[in-house]
Amino acid sequence: MSRKKIIAGNWKMNMTPTEAVELVNTLKPLVANDDVDVVFCVPAIDIIPAMEAAKGSNINIGAENMYYEDKGAYTGEISPAMLKDAGVKYVVIGHSERREYFAETDETVNKKALKAFEYGMTPIICCGESLTQREQGITIDWIRQQIKIAFLNIPAENAAKAVIAYEPIWAIGTGKVATTEQAQEVCQSIRSCIAEIYDEATAQAIRIQYGGSVSAGSAPELFAQPDIDGGLVGGASLKPEFGDIVNYKK
Ligand SMILES: O=C[C@H](O)COP(=O)(O)O
């Protein structure tokens, strides 16, 4: 089955609203490629100006996080309804930085993923092992557990539309990209896990990204792997290099 690639930038805590507009305007012509779904996941305050700046282009503006309740006394949080009303279609859930610095767990990831689907948005569900876990030889077990909990109570028709981002924590922002074999091995095991939870059709439909120091140099080989359907890109998504990553085939 051929799946459309999805290449998403995760801006993290970078870019003021003014800078966001400038960056979207700079990248707009560089990321034009209708063969790929292009998503810029931006800080909440940048969503509306970035959306305006991206009008008429192939860029989808996404969010980096959201809360799992509909509304209420949760000072500082962003609700799914707020994102939906702003026109957001993709939301990153459970990035390792959210897990490390903001106490997110597999359970909150599951709650957020369920909520994203309830509001018609596509979650980009992150998973990944630490260097210690890789050295202990428990990478696949760890990732399978993260996936099984993230997808609890999510029906197959929604799971098929989800995006999973495999991001080894040791490869994030370190310049140490996983080898193509390491990335493919884990992405393949994620697809097998989805097949076990659901069925082969769901496993073949779901899109799995690799993330962790993706660059214009590493993208072509990574994205040519049978179970890697694109990337979640941090640092390089803030630069014109992102255009080369999106156009990795040219
Ligand atoms: O969400 C993106 C990842 O954390 C990867 O970041 P990076 O490309 O800067 O390593």
CATH of the domain at 91: 3.20.20.70
- Which position has the token pair 């092992």? 129
Structural domain harbouring 94: 5-246
- Ligand 1: residues with CB < 6 A are 10, 95, 167, 172-173, 211-214, 232-236
Q: What is the pTM of this model?
A: 0.98
Establish whether 235 is an annotated binding residue: yes
> How many degrees, rounded to 5, is the angle at CA 156 between CA 208 and CA 78?
70
Predicted pLDDT of residue 1: 66
Predicted pLDDT of residue 177: 84
Establish whether 14 is an annotated binding residue: no
Establish whether 211 is an annotated binding residue: no
Out of 64, 95, 104, 241, which one is annotated catalytic? Answer: 95
Out of 64, 104, 167, 241, which one is annotated catalytic? Answer: 167
Has 167 been annotated as catalytic? Answer: yes
Separation of CA 155 from chain center: 20
CA 22–ligand 1 middle distance (angstroms): 21
Ligand 1 atom closest to Cα of residue 175: 10
> How many degrees, rounded to 5, is the angle at CA 225 between CA 221 and CA 226?
160
Establish whether 231 is an annotated binding residue: no
- Tens of pLDDT, residues 184-207: 999 999 999 999 999 999 999 999
CA 185–ligand 1 middle distance (angstroms): 19
CA 232–ligand 1 middle distance (angstroms): 7
- Tens of pLDDT, residues 192-246: 999 999 999 999 999 999 999 999 999 999 999 999 999 999 999 999 999 999 9
With the most atoms of ligand 1 within 8 angstroms of its CB, the residue from 177, 233, 246 to mutate is 233
Residue closest via CA to ligand 1's atom 6 equals 234
The pLDDT averaged over each successive group of 10 residues in the chain (250 residues) is 94 98 98 97 98 98 98 98 98 98 98 98 98 96 98 98 98 91 98 98 98 97 98 98 96
Predicted pLDDT of residue 175: 87
Establish whether 128 is an annotated binding residue: no
With the most atoms of ligand 1 within 8 angstroms of its CB, the residue from 90, 97, 172, 215 to mutate is 172
CA 57–ligand 1 middle distance (angstroms): 24
Q: Which two tokens stand for residue 24?
A: 């979207």
Predicted pLDDT of residue 158: 98
- Whole-angstrom distance, CA of residue 20 vs CA of residue 208: 27
Q: How far is CA 41 from CA 14, 142, 197, 206, 222, in A?
A: 11, 26, 28, 19, 21
Domain count, the chain: 1
With the most atoms of ligand 1 within 8 angstroms of its CB, the residue from 232, 241, 242 to mutate is 232
Separation of CA 14 from chain center: 17
Q: How far is CA 182 from CA 56, 149, 212, 223, in A?
A: 38, 23, 12, 13
- Whole-angstrom distance, CA of residue 147 vs CA of residue 223: 21
Amino acid in position 71: K
Asked if 150 and 108 touch (Cβ cutoff 8 Å), the reply is: no
Predicted pLDDT of residue 2: 86
Q: What is the ipTM of this complex?
A: 0.98
- Whole-angstrom distance, CA of residue 6 vs CA of residue 113: 18
Asked if 116 and 73 touch (Cβ cutoff 8 Å), the reply is: no
Contacts 24+ apart (CB under 8 A), 73-82: 78/44, 80/115, 80/116, 80/118, 80/119, 80/121, 81/119
- For 56, other C-beta atoms within 10 Å of its C-beta total 7
